[in-house]
Amino acid sequence: MRVGLGYDVHKLVPNRDLIIGGVKIPHTLGLLGHSDADVLIHAIMDSLLGAAALGDIGKHFPDTDAEFKGISSIKLLNEVRELLSKSDYKIENIDATIIAQRPKMSPYITSMRENISEALRISIDQINVKATTEEGLGFTGIEEGISSQSICLISKI
């Protein structure tokens, strides 16, 4: 068994969609990034790639490559699943946290888990997503950005 840890952060800006866990969330601000800037999916991808010693998302999906401009991170998560499969790994579980002052994430967490489950072709009960604020502290607390952390367990098939 192998454990991987992932982290991602993106700046909140006007005139961008807020997409987290593959869910478009109504908000006045969105996340800035080369792709759709889905911090949750990016953290999960990095945890999975790290556990398999396959590098990180920057190695596989560089922000200098026009192919990935505006791409759905769910599509990239599918690619990560394929990389794990080719390396003979299966996902045991994922536990992830979204750190955001606003908006509240709880109404969207089930949909996020469903999207991740479908992309990775694993059971929804192998995926946990939770959210927290930072009580108004730091860049997430003052709503300059949103971050996410993920930890996963994988094993050889």
Confidence at residue 44, expressed as pLDDT on a 0 to 100 scale: 98
Q: What is the pTM of this model?
A: 0.97
CATH number of 2-156: 3.30.1330.50
Mean per-residue pLDDT for 86-107? 97
Q: Is 35 annotated as a binding residue?
A: yes
What does the block give as tokens for 68?
Answer: 């990935």
Q: Is 58 annotated as a binding residue?
A: yes
Q: Is 27 annotated as a binding residue?
A: no
Q: Is 107 annotated as a binding residue?
A: no
Q: Is 42 annotated as a binding residue?
A: yes
3-class DSSP assignment, residue 105: coil
Between the alpha carbon of residue 8 and those of residues 31, 54, 125, 157, the distances in Å are: 12, 17, 23, 28
Q: Is 134 annotated as a binding residue?
A: yes
Q: Give the percent of the chain with pLDDT over 70.
A: 100
Cβ 146 vs Cβ 98: under 8 Å: yes
Q: Is 88 annotated as a binding residue?
A: no
Q: Is 123 annotated as a binding residue?
A: no
User: Is residue 146 very low, low, confident or very high in pLDDT (cuts 50, 70, 90)?
Assistant: very high
State the chain's mean pLDDT as an integer. 97
Q: Is 65 annotated as a binding residue?
A: yes
Q: Is 63 annotated as a binding residue?
A: yes
Positive or negative CA dihedral for 113, 98, 73, 60? negative
Q: What is the pLDDT of residues 124-141, one digit of tens each?
A: 999 999 999 999 999 999
Q: What is the pLDDT of residues 29-68, one digit of tens each?
A: 999 999 999 999 999 999 999 999 999 999 999 989 888 9
Q: Is 36 annotated as a binding residue?
A: no
Q: Is 8 annotated as a binding residue?
A: yes
Q: Is 9 annotated as a binding residue?
A: yes
Cβ 109 vs Cβ 97: under 8 Å: no
Give CA–CA dist 31/79, Å, rounded. 22
Q: Cα 145 vs. chain centroid, distance in angstroms?
A: 15
Mean per-residue pLDDT for 134-155? 96
Q: Is 46 annotated as a binding residue?
A: no
Q: Is 64 annotated as a binding residue?
A: yes
User: Is residue 21 very low, low, confident or very high in pLDDT (cuts 50, 70, 90)?
Assistant: very high
